[in-house]
A and B are shown apart, each in its own frame.
Chain A
Amino acid sequence: MRFACIIVLAGLAAADALAAEIPQDERRSGYSFMTPDTRTMQDDSTANPGMLWVLDGEKLWNRKAGAADKACADCHNDARASMKGVAAHYPAFDKVLGRPVDLEGRINLCRANHQQATPLGYESRDLLALTAFVARQSRGAAIETGNDPELQPFIARGRDLFMQRQGQLNLGCANCHDDNWDKRLAGSAITQAHPTGYPLYRLEWQSLGSLQRRLRACITGIRAQAYDYGAPELVELELYLMSRARGMPLETPAVRP
């Protein structure tokens, strides 16, 4: 009897968890929650402020840096060909580190290992510009993050963190972004947490910003202690979010309100 009870409870818990996730055919990009004005801004490459970072990134791509005196272009040549579709696979598993790295992390690893240059600071203009330039080459490509079987335990950890209630408000990401995405919070659309356009230009920030910046802001919002930039927990969360957006087109550089 007791055993049966546990099975029923376990079944309920599993059903609950499944019901909470957004069905595949109901997934929406943050783009679809925006006003027509903001959508136009994103779609017009001469009105999208994110393109300013893309232009800067292109200059950096061709600029020699570090003790090796090499530019990104010296190994990777024309990014339009070599970086096409690359961002759609990130965060990706790094065999040397034995854990996933996001696109910013990959660029900094490349700087350290191949250019022998100092890594760029998180949210620095140069790192955002290079990331935006690389990700822009995948605009329109379907997100494929998370296919690598080695990533599965990290995706599971990211998912756990997404579901985990925390902070003084005792909220998990899922409480808003799975359960209440069709509602509004203080006048703003809640959206579904599909990170399809990072790094993106937030009108509120008046700047381009990374997914980690967005996650840290959300974590601070539920009054929990935000993880430091580059923390494995944030990369795992990024990985889970990108894997749940699998199949959706990349919009980098997106614009959000």
Chain B
Amino acid sequence: MPSALINVPAKARRGDIIEIKTLMSHIMETGYRHTASGEVVPRDIITSFVCRYNGNEVFRADLFPAFAANPFITFFTTATESGKFEFEWIGDSGFSETASASIIVE
């Protein structure tokens, strides 16, 4: 299973704007490169990323071949209640990974 790094603040006050950082291990092969013998290296990228906060989608991104390897996606959301952030990456060749992180909102 590929490694992922998630950075969600452990604690926040209700109404705080918090930054969430995610880093997913992936080669992001564009599909435009060729081997020395001329064969196309098949495309192998992450195509979508979703973040859900207690089940509600708060962030979504579509990814394309121009993304660098090991995509680093950061975004902001408002801390509304204690609970769980769930992250999902979906990509070519059946790539599907999940991760989660908890937050306490006071």
Which A residues form the contact surface with B (CB < 8 A)? 44-47, 49, 51-52, 55-56, 203, 206-207
Q: Report the Cα distance A56→B5, complex, angstroms.
A: 12
Contact with A along B85-100 (1 / 0, CB 8 A): 0000000000000000
- Assembled-state Cα–Cα distance A207/B6 (Å): 19
Q: For the complex formed, measure the closest distance between the CB of B63 and the CB atoms of chain A, giving whole angstroms.
A: 14
**How many angstroms between the C-alpha atoms of A207 and B25 in the bound complex?**
10
Number of A-B residue pairs, CB cutoff 8 Å, is 37
A56 touches B3 (CB 8 A): yes
Minimal beta-carbon separation of A253 from chain B (angstroms): 12
Binds A, one of B44-52, B53-61, B68-76: B68-76
Check B72–A52 contact: CB distance below 8 A.
no
Per the bound structure, the CA–CA distance linking A79 and B48 in Å amounts to 36
Residues of chain A within 8 A (CB-CB) of B27 are: 206
Q: Please, how many angstroms separate the alpha-carbon atoms of A51 and B23 in the complex?
A: 10
Distance of A150 Cα from B69 Cα, bound (Å): 42
Q: Which of A52, A203, A206, A207 contacts B5 (CB 8 A)?
A: A52
A-side interface mostly: loop
Does residue B13 face the partner (Cβ distance < 8 Å to A)? no
- Contact between chains at A206 and B21 (CB < 8 Å): no
Known: A46-B21, A46-B23. A51 touches B69 (CB 8 A): no
Residue of B6, B28, B70 near A46 (CB, 8 A) is B6
Chain A residues with CB under 8 Å of B77's CB are none
Residues from chain B with a CB closer than 8 A to the CB of A203 are: 68
Q: List 5 tightest A-B contacts by C-beta distance, closest first.
A: A46-B7, A206-B69, A55-B3, A52-B25, A49-B70
In B19-46, the 8 Å CB interface with A consists of 21, 23, 25, 27-28
Question: How far is A199 from B24 in the complex, measured between Cα atoms in Å?
Answer: 19
